Homo-oligomer: A and B are copies of this chain.
Amino acid sequence: MPAPADPKNLSTRQKMEALIRRKQAEIVKALETQDDVKFRADTWTRGNDGGGGTSMVIQNGTTYEKGGCNVSVVYGQLSPEAVSAMKHDHKNLDLPTDPKTGLPAADGVKFFACGLSMVIHPHNPHAPTTHLNYRYFETWNPDGTPQTWWFGGGADLTPSYLYEEDAEMFHKLHKDALDKYDDKLYPRFKKWADEYYMITHRGETRGIGGTFFDDYNEKDPEEMLKIVEDSFDAWISAYIPIVAKRKDMPFTEEQKQWQAVRRGRYVEFNIMYDRGTQFGLRTPGSRIESIMMTLPVHASWLYDYHAAPGSHEEELIKVTTTPREWVK
């Protein structure tokens, strides 16, 4: 099925797609400066459904145990079930009724979505896992009239061991990127991240947070594209020095075990709560390998395992149970 055409939004879509493809190349290049192994590309299409993507992946690198940086551009129909499931987070998304029958329209809502989604799991337990995602979404009613659009995304850091200076720098650079446009954005997106990255059943966030926003269309799309571009750059400027500093630190078997337990928490968050994963698993023709690419090579669940009081491990638990303000 061809992408639905709507002249007003076409250019935002095209610009966002061009932006994420450019940023994919820049991110991969920046990450590769810290590893002797190169990322490899996998291009995929959705078969009979519309769209496809390019996954850039690395596994068993010298620095990165596993990582991927995916671009996907998908379009087609959202089923009534998908609309119901997404409605909670997207207030203007609506399932139109068939004017003849008064029942939910069987042909659902047409959508276009494109985004870049990245997760990096380094080997070294002192080097944090990181995630970044920016996406753009549009929907149309069955009669072809535009329904709604939004941007969403953010970036966050998931250390196994807390280095306050890394957390502060990561947050500071993301704040600077947003402050350029509107100094109300960082406080709002930082708080949103603390809420979003919460592993509810554990009462812990998955890491030290970062930024998150969704269903966002309060600003002009042109300005949003700039905000997203600067946020991409903030992540590059923050993460590359962090991984460079941490990737060769000595570590023990016990520290590696702790990392595996923390990555178990990461798995719990990603497959239970992550909206991208939920959307992917509900979208017909999605590529399961690209969705599950975010999951680590080693994850562990130990029975009734707790950080020792006063330990470095406990320091991390404290900031995941009580999110901190990293930028004063």
Q: Which of A93-101, A216-224, A247-255, A291-299 forms part of the interface with chain B?
A: A291-299
| Candidates B59, B202, B271, B298; contact of A303 at CB < 8 Å | B59
For the residues of A in contact with B, the DSSP-based class is mixed
B303 touches A300 (CB 8 A): no
- Report the minimum CB–CB distance from A213 to chain B (whole Å): 26
Q: Does A190 have its Cβ within 8 Å of any Cβ on chain B?
A: no
Q: How far is the CA of A296 from the CA of B272 in the complex (A)?
A: 17
Q: Which residues in B have their C-beta under 8 angstroms from that of A314?
A: none
Q: Which residues in B have their C-beta under 8 angstroms from that of A301?
A: 66, 267, 292, 295-297, 299
| Candidates B271, B288, B297, B304; contact of A271 at CB < 8 Å | B271
| Candidates B271, B272, B298; contact of A298 at CB < 8 Å | B298
Residue among A281, A288, A299 with max Cβ neighbours from chain B (10 Å): A299
Q: Which residues in B have their C-beta under 8 angstroms from that of A88?
A: none
Q: Which residues in B have their C-beta under 8 angstroms from that of A281?
A: 201
Indicate with 1 or 0, residue by residue over A282-322, a CB within 8 angstroms of chain B CB atoms: 00000011001101111111111000000000000000000
Indicate with 1 or 0, residue by residue over A262-278, a CB within 8 angstroms of chain B CB atoms: 00100110011000000
A299 touches B300 (CB 8 A): yes
A201-B281, A281-B201, A298-B298 as given contacts; A289 in contact with B304, CB under 8 Å: yes
B288 touches A57 (CB 8 A): no
- Complex: chain B residue closest to A60, CB-CB: B302
- Report the minimum CB–CB distance from A243 to chain B (whole Å): 19
A293 touches B289 (CB 8 A): no
A272-B271, A295-B264 as given contacts; A303 in contact with B201, CB under 8 Å: no
- Complex: chain B residue closest to A304, CB-CB: B289
Q: Does A210 have its Cβ within 8 Å of any Cβ on chain B?
A: no
User: Which residues of A approach B to under 8 Å, CB–CB?
Assistant: 42, 57, 59, 66, 68, 201-202, 264, 267-268, 271-272, 281, 288-289, 292-293, 295-304
Q: List 6 A-B contacts (CB under 8 A).
A: A57-B303, A264-B295, A264-B299, A289-B304, A296-B301, A297-B301
Known: A59-B302, A66-B303, A296-B301. 15 other contacts (CB 8 A): A42-B304, A59-B303, A66-B301, A66-B302, A68-B303, A202-B288, A264-B299, A267-B301, A271-B272, A289-B303, A292-B301, A295-B301, A298-B298, A298-B300, A299-B301
